[in-house]
Amino acid sequence: MRILRPFMFLLTAAAVAILTACTTVPGTGRPQLLLIDPAQEARMGFQAFQEMKRKEPIVKQGAQVKRLRRVGKRIASAVELRHPKEVRHAKWEFVLFRDPNNVNAFALPGGKVGVYTGMLPITKNEAGLATVIAHEIAHVIARHGGERMSQSKLVEVGGSVLSGALGGKSQTAHDLVMQAYSLGTRVGVLLPYSRTQESEADHLGLSYMARAGYDPQEAIAFWQRFSRHNRKRGDKQPEFLRTHPLDRTRIAQLRRQMPKALQEYRRAKSRR
Ligand SMILES: [Zn+2]
């Protein structure tokens, strides 16, 4: 039972951290833990993106690149209107990476968005592309990267607290607890959180694309195409699938959020 003490300590440390670092996600109001400074977070994003651009082949010109930048800018401007504070550190950049087998896109803190050429046939049209970009921009605005980093910081702190507290015990007991601990964190904390973030990016993204004047109903068509594609490919892309909500859940959620998104879309259209 003595083993409980480090856990109590960890819980207290976590509670203190949460009390001092808890904010809410703009647009959904979900409380989130952020232990990282937004400027620092953005700098880490810039660095990582720089490195990716150095290492991976990029499409530098042509109609596809122009379209990606145009759609990206249009959504970023709509988001800036709505969240001026949250975009303070963003230096928007939309880069097309050349990899026809990679059906993927990503976003890094600081407004760096990457789309792989393999994603383009599935996006099919501008509104499809807008769905992907808006989802990625939502990850940036909701600071999902910083949130993940904060979570792993807590996990790190918790791990070292445990390791120190168990220093005098036998190696076996130590290993067992450490194993149980990392398993517990992986299954109990990190994985569901990530699905929450993905649903949140869908939700916010739907609103962003609508506000930028793209028909939000195209988001459902896009995720259906994406789902069909993944079914055809089997489980060749397990990583992306595992971290993304199940297609049926995702589409049902988008349908529920559609009436509000359609209102935002009509308002945006009447302003244009
Ligand atoms: Zn995502």
- Could you give the CA distance from residue 85 to residue 20 in angstroms, rounded to a whole number? 20
Q: Is 200 a catalytic residue?
A: no
Distance 262 CA to ligand 1 centre (A): 22
Active-site residue (options: 41, 136, 198, 264):
136
Give the pair of three-digit tokens for residue 232: 């055809």
Contacts of 13 (CB under 8 A, 6+ apart): 154, 157, 158, 161
Q: State how far the alpha carbon of 173 is from the alpha carbons of 6, 50, 163, 183, 249, in Å.
A: 14, 44, 11, 15, 41
Q: What is the pLDDT of residue 180?
A: 36
Tokens of 222: 């896009």
The pTM of this model reads 0.79
Q: Tell me, what's the pLDDT at 139?
A: 87
Cα–ligand 1 centroid distance for 269 (angstroms) = 27
CA pair distance 265, 134, nearest whole angstrom: 14
For the chain, list the strands marked E by DSSP.
Answer: 22-24, 31-33, 58-59, 93-97, 105-108, 112-116
Distance 245 CA to ligand 1 centre (A): 9
Q: Give me 127's structure tokens.
A: 């509104």
Query: What share of residues in the chain are helix, strand, coil (percent, to 5)?
Result: 70, 10, 20
pLDDT in single tens digits along all 272 residues of the chain:
555 566 666 666 655 555 556 789 999 999 988 887 888 888 888 888 888 898 889 999 999 999 999 999 999 999 998 888 888 889 999 999 999 998 888 888 889 999 999 999 999 999 999 999 999 999 889 988 778 777 766 666 665 655 555 454 444 433 443 443 333 333 333 333 378 888 999 999 999 999 999 999 999 999 999 988 887 876 554 444 444 556 788 899 999 999 999 999 999 999 87
Biggest CA–CA distance in the chain, Å, is 70
**Residue 270 CA to ligand 1 centre (angstroms):** 30
Q: Hey, is 23 helix, strand or coil?
A: strand
- In the chain, the number of structural domains is 1
Instruction: Give the contacts of 161 (CB within 8 A, at least 6 positions apart).
Output: 6, 9, 10, 13
Specify the length of the chain in residues.
272
Cα-trace Rg, the chain = 21
Residue 141 CA, ligand 1 centroid: distance in Å: 12
The secondary structure of 27-46 as a DSSP string is TT--EEE--S-HHHHHHHHH
Q: How far is the CA of 135 from the centre of ligand 1 (A)?
A: 6
For 128, the domain range is: 4-271
